[in-house]
Structure 1
Amino acid sequence: MNGQSKDIAAIKNLAQEWNTGWDRSDTEALLSLYTDDPVLIPQGQPEVIGKDAIRSLYSLLFAEFAVKGNGRAVKVETSGNLGYFWSSYTLTATPKAGGDQIKGEGRSVFIVKRQEDDSWKIALLIDNCDRE
């Protein structure tokens, strides 16, 4: 397997770990997939900058909802120490206090950076929900 093929396989694995973290409502597992200085740009909301801010957002979400999703990396590309993947997803958020489920689907773009240990981490995530 050549270098670029290994990088693409590693990024696809990162995408799978992302899905697993969401299905387990595991804030720390998700945060481990980000660089030290990430930016999250959710649709219709201000950007969320830094791991502490993202931790607060995810912790609040997982405290209030049980989230189940299904994501699929559609395209993965790399060039040097940068890469991206875009994915399509569906998700269902069930309020833990009771009430109607929230269903969503959309696409996300993940900009990833190679780390010093040769792993890939999410530097920037842009979400585009088609339906909420």
Structure 2
Amino acid sequence: MKPSLRSSDEDEAATSARQKIENALAQYEAALNASDTTAVAKMFVADGVFMAPNNPSVIGIDAIQRAYDGIFQTISFDTELTVAEVVQTASNWAFARTNSKGFVTVKTLEQRVPDANHELFILQKDANDQWKIARYSFATTNPLPR
């Protein structure tokens, strides 16, 4: 994962929070690339929401785990997140905007295709003071087919 750049006016507390959030995003990226449903689900808060394009929202850890089970049965990822922005909005809430680029492999076709997205993560600290994904949505940045 490519981390964000430190803002010149960022204080020590903000730097620490940003680094912890970026570490959480790196863990998500690693779990995604490993097709590790359990590790992905652990990155979400209990009432987390996963919002994939052209699909209804998926709410709660069990539903998120089932959604990623389905995704990982269909495709595998080789992608890298680049953090564009991290903003802590309260002591236990933040959002991160990322871009990703890489490939997905469509398992039934054994075809590797380019993949690029922009993502929005809303993060919340859990009871153990760990940053977790509370809401996650993404959209492709690949050009439309002609």
How much does 1:71 deviate?
1.1
Equivalent runs, 1:63-78 vs 2, <5 Å: 63-78=73-88
How much does 1:99 deviate?
4.2
Alignment correspondent of 2:126: 115
Q: TM-score, normalised by structure 1?
A: 0.90
How much does 1:130 deviate?
1.8
Distance 2:56 2:71 in 1: 16
Equivalent runs, 1:9-28 vs 2, <5 Å: 9-28=19-38
How much does 1:18 deviate?
1.2
How much does 1:120 deviate?
0.6
Alignment correspondent of 1:55: 65
Change (3 A) 1:128 1:54: same
For the aligned residue pairs, the C-alpha RMSD in angstroms reads: 1.7
Q: Which ranges of structure 1 fall in alignment gaps of 5 or more residues?
A: none
Percent identical across equivalent pairs? 21
| Corresponding letter in the other structure for 2:93 | L
> Does 2:42 align with 1:35?
no
Q: Which ranges of structure 2 fall in alignment gaps of 5 or more residues?
A: 1-10
Among candidates 72, 76, 88, match of residue 99 of structure 2: 88
Secondary structure of 2:94's match?
strand
